[in-house]
Amino acid sequence: MDIIHLLPDSVANQIAAGEVVQRPASVIKELLENSIDAGATEIQVVLREAGRELIQVIDNGKGMTPTDARMAFERHATSKITQAADLFALHTMGFRGEALASIVAVAEVELRTRRPEDETGVLLRLAGSRLEKQEVVACPAGTNLEVRNLFYNVPARRKFLKSNQTELSNIMTELQHVALANPEVGFTLTHNDVQMLSLTAGNLKQRLLQLFGKTISQQLLPLDVENDLVHISGFIGQPEGARKKGALQYFFVNDRYMRHPYFHKAVVECYQELVAEGAQPNYFIYLKVDPSTIDVNIHPTKTEIKFENEAARWHILMAAVREALGKYNAVPTIDFDQTDAPEIELLDSRVSRPVAEPTTSFDPHYDPFRKSPVMDHWETLYEDFGKAPERLSSRMSAGAGLYGALSPEQTVSSSANSSSSVLPSRMSTVLDTTPDYSESANTLIPEGRPEKRTFRKYLQVANRYIAASSHEGLLLFDQHRAHAAVLYDRYYQQICNRQGISQQELFPEMVEIAPADVPVLEQILPELGYLGFELDSLGGGTYAVNGKPASLDKGVDFNALLLQMIDTARDEVHGIGSELNRKLAGRLAMAQAIPAGKAMCEEEMCQLIESLYDLKDHTYGPDGKLIAVQLNLADLETRF
């Protein structure tokens, strides 16, 4: 007996749907693209329960005739191509004729559509690929498609949907792609009757402002290069705006969002010398190419695209980005940090590094054969800062620091005495400015502490490490990690005990949160509250900052910090609970901790190391890296 038969359409469609419709966000993408292809200038999206219950897209596009509306739900039914050759001249987002057929195979669908030139429209109701109702209706011109109970007939799929927040965040991402590709189209998004997004039609810069807020849109450099192969436009971010996580990176080709790891590398390479290690630039790059030179037919979800002449285009892209960066003059000429740092560092160790561009000054009376070379250093230093020594020392938080213990005069005189011809001058400076241990050692030994804590004195090395002598030898602490570990412990307790301390703001600032970030932020608002972030939603992605984490350093960019917190949570969406708490506490601790390069006074160092040893675990920082290294006496002996 023959056993092979053709599958009924409804089953075949359901199988095919697996490719196209994976989650509510895929439905949104397909429907939005259809509306764009239909020439819509205003598109409304309405959702219930993150798309589980309802996904509705209403457009003012060209609509369909009743017959076309019926046809639209058949597999491989499309108005966009008629022959294979058309695949190479695509000017539309869709072309497979698969989306509506797939959607209607796994959901209940209601369509109202009318062409502007027709008097009446048509209503179709379908479920599981079957037409249930068709009637003539009065409706606005355009298309209104409701998709209800997605996967109602595929329980396994429905079960695999993630939390509402995650699905909503995915939907936002898809909507963002379409909204960025079509700034001249207006969009609104309503979820459970709350309007989450309203984007008015405008130009790209306005769209970026609406989607990502002022900070990012003020840091953009325009791109504009045109030749036979490609037209490149859009914006790249200034190097200062680069982020370690969650950088906004978008490529569009012929107004279609795409991922392109190879082109991505071209952009990132241009920034290599300009941003901190691991930081990534923002970019919104639009490529226009002859459609016959690309192949968008690689994957049903169509985000990967093959280019002809990829290498040549790669170079053009790189040149365009370099040019934009060059115009902005972002390339530093000399790295002042590298020039003979140690000598300056040591003398400079009580003053934080100036943030402004370094300036060079010279002393016209300088005589290299004068007796006291160290004295010259002090003078140059003060000249550089334009401040007298007294002023400098008064800026220190405590008089007990190196500065208070030693006046410049002392330094000079002891230096003059001891700078024997045997030691190179740098070495002698180091030795001479080292405070006298014997005098103050006793006061620094904390009473009743275990032996391992009885460090005698702290010395800051290169404004980065804290050196301490212990019984076993020499300990070097990374100041940033040590402080981060202390803060982490405090923050983690705050979250776990559900009690935070925040500093109330007299005049709350507003922060704008990108639409895709809003669901993530909403999800972690309680945890953020325990960490001291008091945020009140004012709707539309705007939040009033009523409180900030107590003792937040003034130098910390609050907006950037909040974005980092959101990025951290985004990575943890599946692991809500203790992991998320740890990550959030860690992120805040890293942001708040004393940075490398910051001068610390003796008392601060002492307090820090004390607090560190009060922790249960003082071996690793919140980033999992070692806080301290020890050179024990045996190690040291081998070096002499």
Contact positions toward ligand ADP, by CB under 6 A? 30, 34-35, 38, 59, 61-64, 72, 77-80, 94-101, 143
Q: Which does 59 bind (CB under 5 to 8 A by kind): ligand ADP, Mg ion, none?
A: ligand ADP
Q: Exposed e or buried b for every residue in 570-590, given b needs 16+ CB within 10 A?
A: bebbeeeeeebbbbbbbbbbb
Give me the least distance between CB of 229 and ligand ADP, in Å please.
Answer: 28
Type of residue at 363: D
The neighbouring-strand residues paired with 280 are 243
Site of tokens 């804590």? 453
515 near Mg ion, rule: CB under 5 A:
no
Q: Which does 548 bind (CB under 5 to 8 A by kind): Mg ion, ligand ADP, none?
A: none
Member of 99, 168, 444, 562 binding Mg ion (CB under 5 A): 99
Q: CB-side exposure of 113: number of CA atoms within 13 Å?
A: 26
Site of tokens 């963002």? 176
Closest to ligand ADP by CB, 51 vs 94, is 94
Closest to ligand ADP by CB, 74 vs 472, is 74
Give me the least distance between CB of 627 and ligand ADP, in Å please.
Answer: 56
Distance CA 98, CA 19 (A): 10
Other Cβ atoms less than 10 A from the Cβ of 331: the count is 11
Give me the least distance between CB of 27 and Mg ion, in Å please.
Answer: 11
Helix axes 373-385, 425-433, angle to 10 degrees: 70
The neighbouring-strand residues paired with 234 are 223, 285
Q: Exposed e or buried b for every residue in 408-424, given b needs 16+ CB within 10 A?
A: beebbebbeeebeeeee
Closest to ligand ADP by CB, 90 vs 599, is 90
Give me the least distance between CB of 19 and ligand ADP, in Å please.
Answer: 13
Give me the least distance between CB of 37 and Mg ion, in Å please.
Answer: 7
Distance CA 82, CA 75 (A): 14
Which has the closest alpha carbon to 61: 89, 93, 90, 87? 93
Closest to Mg ion by CB, 29 vs 377, is 29
x/- contact string, 28-67, with Mg ion (CB under 5 A)? ------x---------------------------------
Q: Which does 174 bind (CB under 5 to 8 A by kind): Mg ion, ligand ADP, none?
A: none
Give me the least distance between CB of 20 and ligand ADP, in Å please.
Answer: 9
Q: Which does 185 bind (CB under 5 to 8 A by kind): Mg ion, ligand ADP, none?
A: none
Distance CA 407, CA 393 (A): 9
Closest to ligand ADP by CB, 29 vs 618, is 29
463 near Mg ion, rule: CB under 5 A:
no
Give me the least distance between CB of 85 and ligand ADP, in Å please.
Answer: 17
Give me the least distance between CB of 180 and ligand ADP, in Å please.
Answer: 20
Closest to Mg ion by CB, 97 vs 202, is 97
Closest to Mg ion by CB, 94 vs 586, is 94
Closest to ligand ADP by CB, 93 vs 599, is 93
Give me the least distance between CB of 203 and ligand ADP, in Å please.
Answer: 24
Give me the least distance between CB of 105 and ligand ADP, in Å please.
Answer: 11
Distance CA 511, CA 361 (A): 41
Return the ∠ at Cα 217 (arms to 211 and 222), rounded to 5°: 120
The three-state secondary structure class of 442 is helix
Exposure of 499 by Cβ count < 10 A (0-12 exposed, 13-18 middle, 19+ buried)? exposed
Which has the closest alpha carbon to 515: 19, 47, 13? 47
Give me the least distance between CB of 76 and ligand ADP, in Å please.
Answer: 9
Closest to ligand ADP by CB, 105 vs 562, is 105
Closest to ligand ADP by CB, 93 vs 593, is 93
Give me the least distance between CB of 124 and ligand ADP, in Å please.
Answer: 12
Find the residue with minimal CB distance to ligand ADP.
94
Phi first, then psi: give them for residue 187, nearest 5 degrees. -135, 145
Answer left, alpha or beta for residue 49, where phi above 0 means left and psi between -120 and 50 means alpha.
left
Identify which range of 27-35, 121-129, 431-439, 548-556 contacts Mg ion by CB under 5 A.
Answer: 27-35
Q: CB-side exposure of 153: number of CA atoms within 13 Å?
A: 19
Closest to Mg ion by CB, 99 vs 590, is 99
Closest to ligand ADP by CB, 42 vs 603, is 42
Alpha helices in 250-368 (DSSP H): 261-271, 310-328, 341-347
Distance CA 322, CA 117 (A): 50
Q: Which does 95 bind (CB under 5 to 8 A by kind): Mg ion, ligand ADP, none?
A: ligand ADP
Residue 456 makes CB contacts below 8 A (sequence gap 6+) with 437, 441, 444, 445, 468, 469
Phi first, then psi: give them for residue 125, nearest 5 degrees. -125, 130
Distance CA 396, CA 62 (A): 70
Find the residue with minimal CB distance to Mg ion.
94
Q: Which does 64 bind (CB under 5 to 8 A by kind): Mg ion, ligand ADP, none?
A: ligand ADP
Q: Which does 35 bind (CB under 5 to 8 A by kind): Mg ion, ligand ADP, none?
A: ligand ADP
Three-class secondary structure assignment of 74-106: CCCCCCCCCCHHHHHHCCCCCCCCCHHHHHHHC
The three-state secondary structure class of 556 is coil
Binding-residue total with Mg ion (CB under 5 A):
3
Three-class secondary structure assignment of 369-402: CCCCHHHHHHHHHHHHHCCCHHHHHHCCCCCCCH
Q: Which does 72 bind (CB under 5 to 8 A by kind): ligand ADP, Mg ion, none?
A: ligand ADP
Q: Which does 80 bind (CB under 5 to 8 A by kind): ligand ADP, Mg ion, none?
A: ligand ADP
Give me the least distance between CB of 95 and ligand ADP, in Å please.
Answer: 5
Other Cβ atoms less than 10 A from the Cβ of 10: the count is 13
Identify which range of 21-29, 96-104, 155-163, 451-459 contacts Mg ion by CB under 5 A.
Answer: 96-104
Alpha helices in 463-556 (DSSP H): 479-496, 518-530
Type of residue at 556: V
Give me the least distance between CB of 551 and Mg ion, in Å please.
Answer: 54
Closest to ligand ADP by CB, 26 vs 165, is 26
Q: How many whole angstroms from its chain centre is CA 438?
A: 49
94 near Mg ion, rule: CB under 5 A:
yes
Give me the least distance between CB of 80 and Mg ion, in Å please.
Answer: 8
- Torsion sign, CA atoms 128, 132, 136, 138: negative
Closest to Mg ion by CB, 94 vs 241, is 94
Q: Which does 78 bind (CB under 5 to 8 A by kind): Mg ion, ligand ADP, none?
A: ligand ADP
Closest to ligand ADP by CB, 64 vs 197, is 64
Distance CA 27, CA 57 (A): 10
Binding residues for Mg ion (CB under 5 A): 34, 94, 99
